[in-house]
Amino acid sequence: MLSLDAALDASSDAEDTPAGRDETSKESRRGALAKTLETVRARRETLARETSATRRAVEAAAADKAEGSDAVELPRAARLAALRDAAARKRKAPAEDGTRRIRVTRDARGDEQLELCGAPAEGASSVVMMAWERPYMEALVDALEVTPADTVLEIGYGLGFSCAAIQRRRPRRHVVVECDPGVRARIPDGADGVEVVAATWQAYLADANDNFPIHEFSAVFFDDFPIVATPSRGSRWRSFLEALVPHIAWAAPPRRVVGYCCDAERLRAALPDGYWLERATPFELTPPADCPYVSEAAGDRCFVVVIGFDPNGVYEPGA
């Protein structure tokens, strides 16, 4: 998770400028959507071409074999190579909507971990979260100071650490938005008070109306990682907080947001209008030696960040 975050943040640096904010305009979103559709269409065409090449190679091999031809070795080798290529592509290919899938596996100690599906690049690992992150997740929930009066929005179930910690505080409502079907299936059936939403946060938060906000969250926990292919509009944090405004603006105080953060200053710079960083406390991480995703360069700490929000003067319903 850390390395993916760092990669995403690095790639979005250039857009963390006031000019980047203008991209929220309808037109640029339409442009980005058209670009995404074009990429999907091109990928489909390539796959169709390659599939038909594979089919031709298989048919040629079958014909050679049927004729008892001496030349059968060459098409067979070509066929195997084509099949191997296709299998490798399939492993790497994201789902149709551009979203990567996740699976839960176990580490050397038998603890659960999250892995991205598909073959990782050579020498890389696909593990994105391990059990040692639990204390950090729980510290974030502590910082959210959930009370039974709160309506909590949580993004990303993952290994369920933050969800369980939020539940222990018995909020009035607790909505968990999780886009991965495999991860969702692991949320305990009828988990007390947890409402599970099968969607990306991008889709879920877009489902609002300026005049009649349908969700009013007083406390928000944000911890996804970039498996959803969306046109970048600056940092993920900024995109999320912008989309959150109509869902938090009418909530009762404290209107607080916490979440995974490995660079508090970058987060501060990415905050949209109306949000401010109440605090950012370094939290020492203690990854085991076999953790593949915390590089030395990324450092050995994250931050417990608490973001405040004040709706006054920043969000005008129906504007």
Ligand X SMILES: C[S@@+](CC[C@H](N)C(=O)[O-])C[C@H]1O[C@@H](n2cnc3c(N)ncnc32)[C@H](O)[C@@H]1O
Binding site for ligand X (CB under 6 A): 1, 102, 129, 137, 155-162, 177-180, 183, 200-202, 223-225, 227-228
* Closest separation in Å from C-beta 57 to ligand X: 37
Q: How far is the CB of 89 from ligand X (least distance, A)?
A: 23
Minimum CB separation from ligand X for residue 157, in Å? Answer: 5
For ligand X, the closer CB: 31 or 182: 182
Query: Least distance in Å: CB of 113 to ligand X?
Result: 11
73-92 helix and 26-67 helix, angle to the nearest 10 degrees? 150
Nearer of residues 2 and 249 to ligand X, judged by Cβ: 2
State the minimum distance, in angstroms, from the CB of residue 240 to ligand X.
9
**Closer CB to ligand X, 56 or 134, in the complex:** 134
The residue whose Cβ lies closest to ligand X is: 158
- Residue 234 CB, nearest distance to ligand X (Å)? 16
Whichever of 9 and 223 has its CB closer to ligand X, that residue is: 223
* Beta carbon of residue 267, minimum distance to ligand X (angstroms, whole number): 16
Pick 54 or 232: Cβ nearer ligand X: 232
Nearer to ligand X, 136 or 309 (CB): 136
Nearer to ligand X, 102 or 307 (CB): 102
Compute CA distances 187 → 63, 113, 160, 230, whole Å: 51, 15, 8, 25
- With a CB cutoff of 8 Å and minimum separation 6, the contacts of 130 are 107, 111, 113, 114, 287, 288, 291, 293
